[in-house]
Structures are given as C-alpha cells and as structure tokens.
C-alpha cells in the first residue's frame, strides 16, 4: 500500500528547471576552478588560468539566483547560512556556494595569475621587475592566488555534491545509484569545464585529454546503468525519461569520444559542444527520472 489517507508515502520532487540548470552551471564552474589552479601549478599559459577563473566566477554568480529561485525567497537561502549542518547536503551546498562565489570573485579581482612559464623568463631590460608580457607584481596577487586555491577546493564540492544531494533521498532511482552519482556528476562537470575552456580558445592538449577521459567515464557509466538493470532503474531506460537519459548519455560519452578520436579541429570543437549539451541534458534526465520514479512508487 503506497498511500495513507490519500497522502503519498513517497513525496515527489517538485524541482523545476532552475535546479538542473543550477546543477549544470555550478558543476562546470567548480570544475573550471580546479582546472585553473592545476594549470597554474603546472606552468600553464596565463590565458587558460585567467579564463578558468572567469568561468568559475561567472558560474558562481549565475548559480546563486538559480538556487534562490528554486527556494522561492532570498531569505530561505540566508537562513540556510545561519547554521552549518554537515549532515545535510543542502546545508553543505549552500555554504559551499557562498564560499566558492566569494573566493572565485576574489581570484578574479585580486590580480592576474602568475605562471611558471612566464615567471621563468628573464626581464627584457636591465632593472625591469617582471618578465615580458607578465603583469607587474602586486601585493594583491598572492591573495588572489590563495583565493583561487580556496575556489578550487570548494569547486570540487560544487562539482560533486549535487550527486550526493539527490542520492540521499528515498527516491528509488536516485537511491539505487547513490554510489555513482557524485562521480558521475563530477566527470560531467569536468567535461563541461574543459570543453568550455576549449571553446574560449584554449587549445592545450591537457584539456582535450581531460575531456576525453571524462567522456570515456560517462560512456562506462551509461553502460553500467544499462547492464545493471533493476526495477529502480526503469525510469532511466523506459519512457520519455529513458529517451532523455540515453540522449544525454550519447552526447556526454560516445559522441564526443568518437569526435575527439578523429582529431581534427572541427571535430574537437563539435566534441566540446556535444559534451556541454550532454551534460545539461543529463542533469535534466536525472531530475525527471526521479519524478517518474516517485510516481511509480505511488500508484
């Protein structure tokens, strides 16, 4: 019996379009912050570090109103910041977004990043204090680098916590895949961030390798879900939600993987665009599958 006095025993998710878009934007922003710090620490070009910081900041800026729109009132978001509850994924998410947004803004505002590749050059003229093309050193730059590091640490949480958030529910399809959802969302976020940075003109081979690895993992994840079967996974394989899930999986995994294997400039661009589209569709598919799963449990 699934109802008590006409009240469903399993509450259906009421999330609207803002939530999957928040999952997508916040995840990509968080992964971009991580890529930016990794590029800086390994001597990457200033452009990719700068672009990654901007993507993180803009993503954080867009994520806040999306989350508030879903909550209904700004006061509800502020109320979640009154007390930190580590046992609550929603509380962790709200605090993480607040810290991530502040740190990402600080990383952009407090000076251009230093890069080993540029810092290793000799000054162009006697007495010059910086290398050619490198911005003058300022007291704010170390603070900006520290803010970027904090942005990357919280960015890891931004990229993965939404998988924990939906997995920590009684919705059968989400609960069944609770172990894979955070990694799945993290890989999808990594593919989105790397692809977006490629589309912004960064052609580093490392970005292509990251995106290809994420596409390979997404392909494996889709196969694992299909092979695992089970009544709980039916919304991911049947009906409208099943079609959406497979479309998202195709654009996230096999399609960009094949396009990157071809290796031309046009196919790499197409692979990046496909990964971004697939990542967004995947978030939508999981939310809709959760609603369908709740409906199946409340006949």
Radius of gyration of the chain (CA): 21
Here the tokens at position 36 are 């930016």
Here the tokens at position 225 are 């879900």
pLDDT 10s digits, 9-30: 566 777 889 999 999 999 999 9
Residue 252 has pLDDT above 70, yes or no: yes
Asked if residue 30 lies in contact with residue 156, where contact means CB atoms within 8 angstroms, the answer is yes
Asked if residue 270 lies in contact with residue 215, where contact means CB atoms within 8 angstroms, the answer is no
* Residue where the block lists tokens 């695992």: 228
- Which helix (DSSP H) or strand (DSSP E) does residue 89 occupy? helix 89-109
Calculate helix-pair angle for 239-252, 254-262, nearest 10 degrees: 20
Closest CA to 191 of 77, 62, 115, 281: 281
Closest CA to 254 of 277, 222, 280: 222
pLDDT 10s digits, 189-215: 999 999 999 999 999 999 999 999 999
Query: For residue 240, what pLDDT is reported?
Result: 94
Give 4's strand partners: 7
pLDDT 10s digits, 150-170: 999 999 999 999 998 898 888
Residue 134 has phi, psi (to 5 degrees) of -95, 135
Q: Is the dihedral of CA 254, 205, 186, 21 positive or negative?
A: negative
Q: Which pTM was predicted?
A: 0.85
Compute the mean pLDDT over every residue in the chain, rounded to the nearest whole number.
85
């Amino acid at each position: 019996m699934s109802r008590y006095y006409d009240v469903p025993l399993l509450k259906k998710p009421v999330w609207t379009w803002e939530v999957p878009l928040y999952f997508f934007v916040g995840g990509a922003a968080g992964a971009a912050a991580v890529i930016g710090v990794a590029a800086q620490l390994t001597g990457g070009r200033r452009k990719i570090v700068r672009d990654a910081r901007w993507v993180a900041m803009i993503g954080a800026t867009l994520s806040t109103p999306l989350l508030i729109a879903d909550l209904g009132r700004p006061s509800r978001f502020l109320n979640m910041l009154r007390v930190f509850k580590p046992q609550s994924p929603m509380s962790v998410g709200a605090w993480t977004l607040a810290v991530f947004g502040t740190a990402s803004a600080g990383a952009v505002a407090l000076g251009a990043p230093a890069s080993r590749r540029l810092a290793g050059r000799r000054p162009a003229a006697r007495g010059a204090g910086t290398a050619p093309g490198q911005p003058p050193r300022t007291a704010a730059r170390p603070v900006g680098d520290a803010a970027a590091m904090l942005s990357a640490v919280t960015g890891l949480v931004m990229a993965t916590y939404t998988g924990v958030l939906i997995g920590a529910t009684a919705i059968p399809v989400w609960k069944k895949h609770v172990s894979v959802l955070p990694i799945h969302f993290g890989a999808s976020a990594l593919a989105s961030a790397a692809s977006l940075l490629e589309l912004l003109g960064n052609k580093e081979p490392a970005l292509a390798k990251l995106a290809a690895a994420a596409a390979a993992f997404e392909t494996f994840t889709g196969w694992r879900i299909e092979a695992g079967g089970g009544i709980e996974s039916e919304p991911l394989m049947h009906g409208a939600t099943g079609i959406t899930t497979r479309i998202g999986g195709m654009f996230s995994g096999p399609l960009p993987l094949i396009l990157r294997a071809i290796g031309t400039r046009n196919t790499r661009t197409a692979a990046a665009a496909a990964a971004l589209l697939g990542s967004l569709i995947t978030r939508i598919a999981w939310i809709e599958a959760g609603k369908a799963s709740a409906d199946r449990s409340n006949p």
